[in-house]
Structure 1
Amino acid sequence: MSYQLSKTDYILGLTCPRNLWLKINDPKKLRKKTLAEEFDINEGIKVGELAKKLYTDGINIPIEDTSDNIQKTKELLMKRKPLFEAGFEFENYYARVDILVPNGEGWDIIEVKSSTKLKDKFLYDVSFQKFVLESNGLKIKNCFLLHLNKNYIKKGEIDIEKLYTKEDITADVTPFSENVKEIVKILVGMVSSEKPPMGRILYDEKIVKATTHNCLTDGCLELEDNNVFCLYGNKQVARELFKNEIELIKDIPVNYELSERQQIQKECSKTEKPYVNKSKLLEFLNLLQYPIYYLDFETFSTAIPMFDGLNPHAKVPFQFSLHIIDKEGMNPKHHEFLFDGENDPREDFLQAIRKAIGINGSILVYSKSFEEGILRDLAEYFPKHRKWIYQVINRLVDLRIPFRKFWYYNLKQQGIASIKAVFSAMTEMHYDELEIRDGRTAHVEFLRITCEDCCKEEIARVRYNLLQYCKLDTLAQVKVLEKLTELIK
């Protein structure tokens, strides 16, 4: 089998060779991209297209046909102008450069990313391009990363010059280029084999940390529930155990060193009973004061800021759900808000939440840093609401704490402390019947019906699904707190 390795495949192979093998040889085993992942890809394309405007004399090379892209690149190199999407091949390698800029007798590689900072995987990416281009006889003088400026704040029309930061990564790329040919040879050989590799044949921990790949959810490995990769904390322990053919938490040897929380997981795997630290749970519950407000936000973000006062990837709140229990034993009342319009939703969001939250009582959230971060950003942009916002922040209580600290642990959580995992484990209820089941999908769907041409029926359907999803997030908090209260009685 003759296989041509692209820079995308090169990064994938470094991350997980088994995933690359499946992509080429048995793609049906891999999960499809989520709506959120497709959205992120499109955001990256938008950032790349806008960056081209920085080089007004640049030439865009079509990418639909690889052979045609390579041929046109050869012809246009003679013009000595910036080239967009220039393609090159060498032996089993193919690389396409975002922006290739002439520099004296040589060229500069400019890699465009929608990120706001340098990541190790970008160095692998550019080193692959550099190797392929130099193998074609080009002299590469400098390598740059053109990424979004995290300090840029939109005010009026987008200022392209200020939106991007150009970072010289020439010295950083050089050591990453040294083993490209050897690595490609191994990857091509692996992809051409009849069976997938059993584990990581090329493993670089830094690059794995810089990706979102997960062998368990992405279809690379099929393991039973409560396997060693469900262990809390550093995954190095799980990798070591798996390498030694220990797949399940319950089978970890008695003398194997585990953290306190991992020991709790192991004990639960053996007893198949939840772990409960009643004294710690009681301390937590005693912090709460009625009325109790159960609050959840939904936000969207775009790489290129949409509204004034936003920086790249800033989170914009567009929806909240609020359950209120005035006194112990009373049924919850429900309030909700979902912005309707194409303009900035933040002021309407703030006004709606101010009307719904009273001046006394605990405000329960799940993963406090998220809601608190949104509120702090709102206080910065809307100073007239600042005093009230900080009063709310001071009342926030994080319901995730008992689960993150393992004061309660249920085998059914699979090592996960999210509200969805905890809610399902404690109540046998779940999100599976909802059309929208996670925040990223909510984000994408809200932007779709807001920014794209959708019929009234589709807009109404999505808005209903958004309301149902957010409502369940706060109802789940209500049910989880009820269960915790029952445990200490």
Structure 2
Amino acid sequence: MFDQKSTPITKSQYLQYLRCNNAFHLVKDGIVPKPSSASYGGYLEWGDFLKLCRDQFSDATSIDKTLEKEESFQKTEKLILEKKSIFHAHLRFKEFVSTVEYLEYDNEREGWILWDFRPIGSIKQDIMRSLYFHKQVAEGMSLNILGYKLIRIQTKYIYPGGPIQPEDYLLIEDITPRMESELGTRADEWNQFQEELERTKGQTVLYSFLDSKPSCRSLKTCLSPIHCAKGKENAKEIFDFRDSSELAKQWFALGYESYESVPDSELTPIQKIQKQAHITGDIYFDRKSFETYLSNVTKSVAFLDFESINPYLPLYPQTRPFQHVPYLYSLHIWDRENDTLIHKTYLHKDLETDPRVPVMAQLQKDLPPGITVFSFNDFFEKLIIQEAAEAYPEFLEFWERVKSMFIDLAMPFKKLWIYHPGQNGKASLKEILPCFSTESHGGLSIREGQDANYQYLRLIKKQVTAEEKKRVLEDLIAYCKLDSYGLFLIYRMLQERLSVI
């Protein structure tokens, strides 16, 4: 029977344990709050995806999400006794509780099939672990589990327009053979979990960043360094070393707690650059590499940034699930000889229509031919234009003209041709910009691309008031504008260094 006095252990807690048992205990014992698992925009599409999945089954009963927990458990138990297939089934055994997307009864074989619905393109390990958790709870309730099935997204699906056809969009898989092949691994994980619960029952948990297995790779991602690395919680900076991975953990075990403390003999050339910059406070600059890197740059240059949505339920014909569809760009054009900077932007405000043609048509007009185009991680910008040209051949000539003109402004920072101690090992635009200018994304309402994606999707889904829509559109333009302006500031800084060093 379920112990009402104990704290229920959920699937998410089990998955947390498999990532880090320190974190599992910290959350379970209420020492730190549960980490947020919310992702931008997911709930905006989940309902429609869930309906497509559920429509595959004609004879099933759904547990209403508005019911109290105890009522949900009782209703599930009643339906199980009646051998009914159940959406959102609530299971419990001892201190474990589990919610299964679909619990299907197989009349012929007199047993149950566990289903999971996931808006993803590939089968990840957490899915297998989740299904194994459901299996343990269900079998604890004496249910005969026959197999495991998954509904996910067919990533090669190309949306033709009109209502999405589930038979083309959804991929329904029987993953019982894979589960059976992995049962040994899953059983070992479960047994270790049981041993951990037994070992710590009524005991004080001793937290250790080093001894806990599995555990965080980095003290910077640790849920509570004050518990897991007591007295050394400020040793995070050794985890800022580029490409350190498990090495940083070994350094921590040896007692190294700062950049200065790690011997040069332990470091790669790039890590030595970082160490020296942090000791001296000076910016590292590899003039020779930059002279080669910028040797073919035109006198006038452009700085381009796109914002896009990548819904898993395609909105526009000839797009795939998760494909990035541009709705906004910001373009700064700098004439270095005259030191003039021009800004051009386009935001697609007609939320009922496909933004690709208007975006590309305007960009084609705004971007002067034959000039260097800088983007940050330019693979994204080039992919946006290439996919638009493949869908709309009228832009193929434009794509052929511009693709060789791109230069990735992220490359020098990734390769450490330049390094500012304030970067703390990072190479993102958000981290770099405040180090080399007075500008920062910190004062904006929208501060990252994921949020921009989410906000525009909210507009499309009509999740905003008219007043809020106006504000969101303005915020999107401001965010994208700072990204391309930031590229200009960084490039100008590089040119100034080349001219004076």
The TM-score, its normalising length taken from structure 1, stands at: 0.90
Is 1:216 paired with 2:220?
yes
Equivalent position of 2:165 in the other structure: 159
Equivalent position of 1:69 in the other structure: 72
Question: What per-residue deviation string (whole Å, max 9, x for no partner) do you get for residues 133-156 of structure 1?
Answer: 122211222112221111111112
Contact in 1 for aligned 2:40/2:450 (Cα 8 Å):
no
Question: What per-residue deviation string (whole Å, max 9, x for no partner) do you get for residues 125-180 of structure 1?
Answer: 11111111122211222112221111111112101122111233324332343131
Is 1:318 paired with 2:324?
no
Equivalent position of 1:170 in the other structure: 176
Alignment gaps of 5+ in structure 1: none
Equivalent position of 1:100 in the other structure: 103
What is the alpha-carbon distance in structure 2 between the residues aligned to residue 487 and residue 91 of structure 1?
66
What is the alpha-carbon distance in structure 2 between the residues aligned to residue 295 and residue 110 of structure 1?
44
Structure 1 range deviating more: 264-273 or 313-322 = 264-273
Contact in 2 for aligned 1:2/1:192 (Cα 8 Å):
no
Structure 2 CA distance for partners of 1:200 and 1:159, relative to 1, 3 Å: farther
What is the alpha-carbon distance in structure 2 between the residues aligned to residue 192 and residue 115 of structure 1?
39
SS of equivalent to 2:493 = helix
AA in 2 matched with 1:157? P
AA in 1 matched with 2:130? D
Structure 2 CA distance for partners of 1:284 and 1:329, relative to 1, 3 Å: farther
Equivalent position of 2:401 in the other structure: 391
Equivalent position of 2:300 in the other structure: 291
Equivalent position of 2:145 in the other structure: 140
Is 1:128 paired with 2:133?
yes
Selected match of 1:436 from 446, 453, 456: 446
Task: Report percent identity of matched pairs.
Answer: 24
Asked which structure has the greater CA Rg, the reply is: 2
Selected match of 1:20 from 19, 24, 49: 24
Selected match of 1:382 from 364, 388, 392: 392
Structure 2 CA distance for partners of 1:29 and 1:430, relative to 1, 3 Å: farther
Alignment gaps of 5+ in structure 2: 227-232
Structure 1 range deviating more: 189-198 or 41-50 = 189-198
1:217 Cα deviation (Å)?
5.7
Selected match of 1:10 from 11, 14, 19: 14
Structure 2 CA distance for partners of 1:296 and 1:279, relative to 1, 3 Å: same
Structure 2 CA distance for partners of 1:166 and 1:243, relative to 1, 3 Å: farther
Is 1:333 paired with 2:354?
no
SS of equivalent to 2:98 = strand
Contact in 1 for aligned 2:22/2:212 (Cα 8 Å):
no
Aligned pairs for 1:397-412 within 5 A: 397-412=407-422
Q: CA RMSD in A?
A: 2.6
Question: What per-residue deviation string (whole Å, max 9, x for no partner) do you get for residues 247-267 of structure 1?
Answer: 3333213432x3322222122
Contact in 2 for aligned 1:54/1:161 (Cα 8 Å):
no
Structure 2 CA distance for partners of 1:190 and 1:308, relative to 1, 3 Å: farther
What is the alpha-carbon distance in structure 2 between the residues aligned to residue 30 and residue 71 of structure 1?
27
The TM-score, its normalising length taken from structure 2, stands at: 0.88
Structure 2 CA distance for partners of 1:58 and 1:23, relative to 1, 3 Å: same
Is 1:307 paired with 2:316?
yes
Structure 2 CA distance for partners of 1:144 and 1:32, relative to 1, 3 Å: closer
Question: What per-residue deviation string (whole Å, max 9, x for no partner) do you get for residues 300-320 of structure 1?
Answer: 121211221122111111100
What is the alpha-carbon distance in structure 1 between the residues aligned to residue 206 and residue 355 of structure 2?
49
Question: What per-residue deviation string (whole Å, max 9, x for no partner) do you get for residues 351-404 of structure 1?
Answer: 111110111111111101111121221122112212212322221111111111
Question: What per-residue deviation string (whole Å, max 9, x for no partner) do you get for residues 11-36 of structure 1?
Answer: 122223333344344476677667xx
Contact in 1 for aligned 2:376/2:429 (Cα 8 Å):
yes
Question: What per-residue deviation string (whole Å, max 9, x for no partner) do you get for residues 439-468 of structure 1?
Answer: 111111122233225333222211111111
Equivalent position of 1:246 in the other structure: 256
Question: What per-residue deviation string (whole Å, max 9, x for no partner) do you get for residues 52-110 of structure 1?
Answer: 11112121112443222222122112444432111211122111111122232222111
Count of residues in correspondence between the two structures: 480
What is the alpha-carbon distance in structure 2 between the residues aligned to residue 44 and residue 58 of structure 1?
19
